[in-house]
Amino acid sequence: MAEVPEQQQVRYEQPSAKVARIVLDRPGKRNAQGTVMTYQLDAAMRRACEDDEVSVIILAASGDHFCAGHDLSMTEPPSAPPEDRVTLWGQYDGPGWEGMYTREREVYLEITERWRNAPKPVIAAVQGSVISGGLMLMWMADLIVAADDARFRDNTGSDMGVPGVEFFAHPFELGVRRAKQMLFTGGWLSAQAAAAAGMVNEVVPRAELEARTLALAEEVAQTDRFTLKLVKASVNAAQDAMGRTAAMQTAFANHQIGHLQNMVRYGFPIDITRLPESVRRHLEEALAAGKAGPR
């Protein structure tokens, strides 16, 4: 039976004069990202960007882990109300892959891109495990401060038959060889290795994560707000000129081929044969109940 989803999964705080802090607040589910969290996060981002007093945004997470990835429980609505959506794709109930494609495009690709392009600087504070979809949430940030217990993996390829997450930034975040190793093996990357690869700015003791991130945000916020926006836009434009946007579109298309291959082979958008028995049984029951959606 479907559970009633927790209604408040994102907190909004203003820890100092020019800094907003958005906190993923679903620690009991290791901050798994479902539809409710996605649109609450979007609303929080909109609020921070529209607030004249805010120059810098912190993205943090409560509990031991930043984010376990996309919510596979299928206990939440598959789409947001039309007024909350950020694209015009529509037809969530379309036949074949149409509805699934709409959801993939809206909820995972374009909404993450929208946050990546938010004009104000975003600093992510990450701790514990950051898995697959959790990487997307972290990578949309401009700066990343990692606790020394943070670790990162994308197991979509190794465990689910899908070639990486929808917001495919791995080569740009890690360099091509580390990106390939991460995706080929599904193995963990430590906070220290992530720093060496340039994926995170700093590694700090877990107990100092919140204070250090706030201090960094306050330091950034001393620079003029509009100048910060222009700097961010220029660096993002440089990365896009290097081919990020086009490469990501190709990877998204490959991601859809992965889903469709699994549909052909298993009748489900991911390869359920490689998943733990309990997860597999849950997904098969959901499939039988006719509410299976893509991850």
Compute the least distance from the CB of residue 131 to Zn ion, in Å: 14
Our CA angle for 205, 210, 211, nearest 5°, is: 85
Query: Are residues 122 and 138 in contact, defined by beta-carbon separation less than 8 angstroms?
Result: no
Tell me the C-alpha distance between 189 and 154, whole Å. Answer: 9
Q: Could you give the count of Cα atoms lying within 13 Å of 149 in the half-sphere of its Cβ?
A: 12
Nearest to Zn ion of 25, 104 (CB atom) = 104
* In the complex, least distance from residue 96 CB atom to Zn ion, rounded to whole angstroms: 16
- Name which of 104 and 106 has its Cβ closer to Zn ion: 104
Q: Taking the complex as a whole, how short is the minimal distance between the CB of residue 70 and Zn ion, in angstroms?
A: 8
Cβ proximity to Zn ion: between 43 and 263 the closer is 263
Relative orientation angle of helices 244-266 and 225-241, to the nearest 10 degrees: 60
Sign of dihedral through CA atoms 148, 150, 151, 153?
negative
> CB of 122 within 8 A of CB of 59?
yes
The residues, any chain, with a CB within 8 Å of residue 121's CB and separated by 6 or more, are: 55, 56, 57, 142, 143, 220, 228, 232
User: What CA–CA distances, in Å, run from 60 to 30, 79, 141, 147, 280?
Assistant: 13, 24, 11, 11, 30
Query: Cβ 156 to Zn ion, closest distance in Å?
Result: 8
Nearer to Zn ion, 134 or 294 (CB): 294
Q: List the end-to-end C-alpha distance of the chain, in Å, as a whole number.
A: 19
Q: Which is nearer to Zn ion, 38 or 213 (CB)?
A: 38
* Min separation Cβ 46 and Zn ion, Å: 24
- Of the two residues 121 and 294, which places its CB atom closer to Zn ion in the complex? 294
CB of 166 vs Zn ion, minimal distance in Å? 5
Q: Residue 186 CB, nearest distance to Zn ion (Å)?
A: 16
| Strand order across the beta sheet in which 122-126 lies | 10-16, 19-24, 56-61, 122-126, 143-147, 202-204
Least distance (Å) between residue 195 CB and Zn ion: 29
Q: Which amino acid is at 276?
A: P
When the beta carbons of 247 and 260 are compared against Zn ion, the nearer one is 260
Contacting residues toward Zn ion, per CB under 5 A: 104, 294
The helix (H) or strand (E) run that includes residue 225 is helix 225-241
Compare residues 121 and 133 and give the one whose CB is closer to Zn ion. Answer: 133
